[in-house]
Amino acid sequence: MRQELEQAIAGVCKDLFSVDVEVELTRPDEQFGDYATNVALQLSKKLNKNPREVAEAIKETVKHPAISSMSIAGPGFINLELTDDALVQLSEQKPEQTLEGDIVVVEYSDPNPFKVLHAGHLYTSVVGDAVAKLLESSGAKVYRVNFGGDVGLHVGKAMWSILQEIGGENPDKLNEVNERSEWLTQCYVAGTTAYENDDKAKSEIINLNKRVYQLYADNDHDSPFAQIYWTCRQWSYDYFKEFYTRIGSHFDKYYPESETAPLGLQKAQELLKSGVLEKSDGAIVFKGEEHGLHTRVFINSQGLPTYEAKDLGLTIAKTNDYHPDKSIIITGNDIVEYMKVVLKVVQQFDPEHAQATTHLTHGMVKLAGGAKMSSRRGNILRAVDVIDVAQVANESATGQKDESTALAAIKYAFLKNRIGGDIVYDPAESVALEGNSGPYLQYAHARARSILSKVKTADSKQQPVNRFEKDERSLLRKIGEYAEVVDRAVQYLMPHHVCMYLYELSQEFNRFYEHNRVIDDPRQSVRLTLVHSYADILKNGLELLNIPAPDTM
């Protein structure tokens, strides 16, 4: 509908002035109309004419059954008012299927085994889920994948401390460990401290790191050391899965670095031969300076693959496994420059994949009034801490024991910010029952469902509607924006557009609800239709954010 109108106006401009122009219809303030365009302002310069004259000519010539009236305002905006039928049609429109048939791999969350899940993992998971849902809503077949370091120096650090704790290579001692994930986290922290402060420990850790790689090379699952490693590794993955289930995330595939490392190592060797990578100080590096980037190490002087090589291997694995049309990688923005280097290298051997890859980054989570967090130290804000503090706030506000509202509150609080910069998370505000919050939206939905549930099915059947009263029309107008908002959110991979819209929609509904009765009103059938599509849109929108919309609360 919108595109149709844009083309109609563009066609008129061509007929009148013999120019090709891109017409973009925007949603102006309601007082101005349903759609607006500044095309006359754009053209006036090119044509050397008064913008209002240009607008006048366009206004007189454009004819479309969806338009009930047009007006010119301000410096030369053309405002369109749509017919009620057109508004109804818009309200039934589905998001565009721009990615119909496309395969999209979305990589996100990426926690490392042996380490704790912190608030950043919670945030990035919530963002990734929403982005994945958005892509699905536009017709893509989405695969959610998760990349994590089950090999690498951090594993060496954890293993070093694990061996200390259980008194050597005694796998049986692991049976005595309670609070497994907590225990692993503490081991990792202790290992990190030792690595930094104790040279003997440092060299032992470096050695343990090599031994872990060797386990894979030997396919060793039986030696005492192997048993310890594999058991603790499994504990980590169990802990991840439990957490993801709790927050409503799921992944189609976990790519452990142990799987991508050999692929990356092999590719790096090839790239060394072909001259893309080169030797430097015993390491194999990519000189990024020639491309305006910086130099990064792919294989260290020990012969071990770094994160860079493992990431290289990951892109190969993704291509082999999915042959994606698009590949989205979601991470914190601290690795933007790093990722540019890796993608530049990918471009040298698989330009198509590099071209199809988007690195979407977000900032850090900061607790309102609190400090930020570092994953290397013990004083971090854990993911479960964020959930717990939200649940405490939720329970004290509502008496509700169930944590689903708290989770919805967290997700919405995270997603309502534009992805990119750091976000400040305020637990009290997030669970607030008023204002721009998840619970407000869930409640606004439940209230509409409650109205609908009071009507017998026979009464609620839809009837054709011709004319809307002012408040009804405002609500309908807002409902009709949904598909466009989703389209924009998909185009820019920005879930916050959906949040903003859903809040405005709910406000519009609450305004309507304040002044108009639904049940037992002469206009009941018209209004029920509106309430119904409102509730469906709200539910749909919340689900795009991976937030459930229960019928009752």
Partner RNA sequence: GCACCCGUAGCUCAGUUGGAUAGAGCGCCUGGCUUCGGACCAGGAGGUCGGCGGUUCGAGUCCGUCCGGGUGUACCA
Q: What residues between 190 and 249 interact with RNA by CB under 7 A? A: none
- Shortest Å, Cβ 198 to RNA: 16
Separation of alpha carbons 189 and 202, rounded Å: 14
Least distance (Å) between residue 514 CB and RNA: 4
441: its two tokens: 């939206």
Strand segments, DSSP code E, in 83-125 are: 103-107
Choosing from 143, 254, 307, 534, the residue that interacts with RNA (CB under 7 A) is 307
Nearer to RNA, 134 or 166 (CB): 134
Among residues 510, 523, 525, 536, which is the contact residue for RNA, using CB under 7 A? 510
Pick from 11, 282, 351, 370 the residue near RNA by CB under 7 A.
282
Decide whether 252 or 471 has the Cβ nearer to RNA.
471
CA 105 to the chain's CA centroid: 13
How far apart (Å, rounded) are the C-alpha atoms in residues 335 and 353? 19
Among 231, 348, 398, 474, binds RNA (CB under 7 A): 398
Nearer to RNA, 11 or 75 (CB): 75
- Give the one residue of 62, 432, 502, 545 binding RNA; rule: CB under 7 A: 432
CB of 28 vs RNA, minimal distance in Å: 4
Q: Is 93 exposed, middle or buried (0-12, 13-18, 19+ CB in 10 A)?
A: middle
Binding mask 448-487 for RNA (x = CB under 7 A): -xxx--x---------------------------------
Q: Which of residues 314-333 bind RNA (CB under 7 A)?
A: 333
- Nearest to RNA of 64, 445 (CB atom): 445
For position 22 contacting RNA by CB under 7 A, the verdict is no
Read off the DSSP letter of residue 521: S
Q: Which of 415, 394, 421, 402 is nearest to 503 (CA)?
A: 415
Structure tokens that stand for 33 in this block: 């109309």
User: Scanning residues 150 to 169, which ones bind RNA (CB under 7 A)?
Assistant: 152-154
**Selected binder of RNA within 22, 176, 290, 434 (CB under 7 A):** 434
Residue 152 or 324 having the CB closest to RNA: 152
**Interacting positions 361-380 with RNA (CB under 7 A):** 368, 372
Is 427 near RNA (CB under 7 A)? no
Q: Please check whether residue 336 is in contact with residue 361, taking contact to mean a CB–CB distance below 8 angstroms.
A: yes
CA 149 to CA 308: how far, in whole Å? Answer: 12
Element (H, E) at 220: none
Min. distance of Cβ 413 from RNA in angstroms? 8
Beta strand 35-37 pairing with 67-73: unpaired
Interface residue with RNA, options 149, 191, 264, 495 (CB under 7 A): 149
Dihedral angle, C-alpha 125, 131, 133, 137, nearest 10 °: 180
Binds RNA by CB under 7 A, chosen from 129, 257, 259, 403:
257
Candidates 8, 17, 27, 223: give the one binding RNA (CB under 7 A). 27
Separation between Cα atoms, residue 177 and residue 526, nearest integer Å: 63
Figure out which of the listed residues 22, 45, 48, 467 binds RNA, where binding follows CB under 7 A.
45
Sheet strands side by side (includes 283-286): 278-280, 283-286, 296-299
DSSP string across 309-357: HHHHHHHHHHHHHH--SEEEEEEEGGGHHHHHHHHHHHHHH-HHHHHHE
CB of 323 to RNA, least distance (A): 26
Q: Which of 225, 239, 240, 513 binds RNA (CB under 7 A)?
A: 513
Q: How far is the CB of 468 from RNA (least distance, A)?
A: 16
Distance CA 336, CA 307 (A): 14
In this complex, which beta carbon is closest to RNA, that of residue 14 or of residue 294?
A: 294
Nearest approach, Cβ of residue 282 and RNA (Å) = 5
Say which DSSP state 176 is in: G
Taking CB under 7 A as the criterion, the residue among 141, 433, 532, 540 binding RNA is 433
Q: Which of residues 71-110 bind RNA (CB under 7 A)?
A: 73-75, 77, 79
* Residues in CB range of 43: below 8 A, 6 or more apart: 13, 17, 19, 21, 49, 51, 54
Cα–Cα distance measured from residue 472 to residue 512, given in angstroms and rounded to the nearest whole number? 7
Please identify which residue in 102, 182, 429, 471 interacts with RNA, judged by CB under 7 A: 429
Residue 404 binds RNA (CB under 7 A): no
Is the torsion defined by CA of 270, 273, 275, 280 positive or negative? positive
Binding part of the chain for RNA, among 32-40, 176-184, 234-242, 345-353 by CB under 7 A, reads: 32-40
- Asked if 275 touches RNA (CB under 7 A), the answer is no
19 touches RNA by CB under 7 A: no
Minimal CA–CA distance to 540: which of 95, 171, 225, 192?
95
